[in-house]
Amino acid sequence: HGGVAAVANYSGGNFSLFRLGDNGVPLACLQTVNHQGHGTDLSRQERPHVHCMVFHSDGQRLYAVDLGLDRCVCYRQGSDCTWTPSPAEDLVSPVPGAGFRHMVIHPGQRFAYVNGEMDNGVTCFRMGEEGAAPVPVGTWSALSPAERQCASFTAAMCLHPNGRFLYVSNRGADSIAVFRLHPEGAVAGWAGTFPAGGAWPRDMRLTPQGDRLVVAHQHSDTLAVFRLDQQTGMGTLEGITPSPTP
């Protein structure tokens, strides 16, 4: 973003910012920020675990999604180009031990979504005005009632280009959850899940047109391609190709 890349360091509990050259190659580390503290589940949250970095479209806010702290820590860019904490603007999990993993901001900028790796939930936040605290408006399970009987952990999350559907992958249940969104971005509800087409769907990407979803499976060493129904958001498997440990 703006010639700068933000890199999350899960094991280190910190993140680093790198200046990028015109060709996109990192040139120098500008700043490294260490988080402090722990969460409620000391088996997984014994210390900070920064999992994801998200720039706000205004270019002035940067969020570090920390699984160990159950929050998306907000940073603002100062006049000297360094990023400093803005704790009033943190997104804080209403569910202790959720294990925040990924964050997505709706194009309308009024709502953001964070998935919990440990509670298999998706929390929708209403984003406040500048300097105001985001407010959680609800948390929905990414699993069907039947899927809740098995050990499962959410992983990737992506937003459809039309802003109407949110997708979350479930490792263990090996499914893709679909959430319906209102035009302004609020979650309308859980629409259902469809089989992920492989084992342990760790990541996924939508095509720019939003007509296909590609899911990467860590344990089955495959990529699965789905055609998406533009009215319901649900996927139909089109093909599977080998891909070592995606």
pLDDT at 229: 97
Q: Grade residue 79 by pLDDT with cuts at 50, 70 and 90.
A: confident
Q: Kindly provide the b/e burial profile for residues 123-133, where b requires at least 16 CB atoms within 10 angstroms of the residue's own CB.
A: bbbbbeeeeeb
Torsion of CA 127, 37, 99, 217, to 10 degrees: 110
CB atoms within 10 A of CB 238: 12
Residues 231 and 143: their CA atoms lie apart, in Å, by: 21
Mean pLDDT of 173-198: 98
Predicted local confidence at residue 131, as pLDDT: 78
Strand partners, 4: 19
State the pLDDT confidence band at 132, using cuts at 50, 70 and 90.
confident
State the average pLDDT over residues 102-115: 96
For residue range 37-60, what is the model confidence (pLDDT) as tens digits? 999 999 999 999 999 999 999 889
**pLDDT tens digit string along 10-43?**
999 999 999 999 999 999 999 999 999 999 999 9
Segment 224-232 shows an average pLDDT of: 97
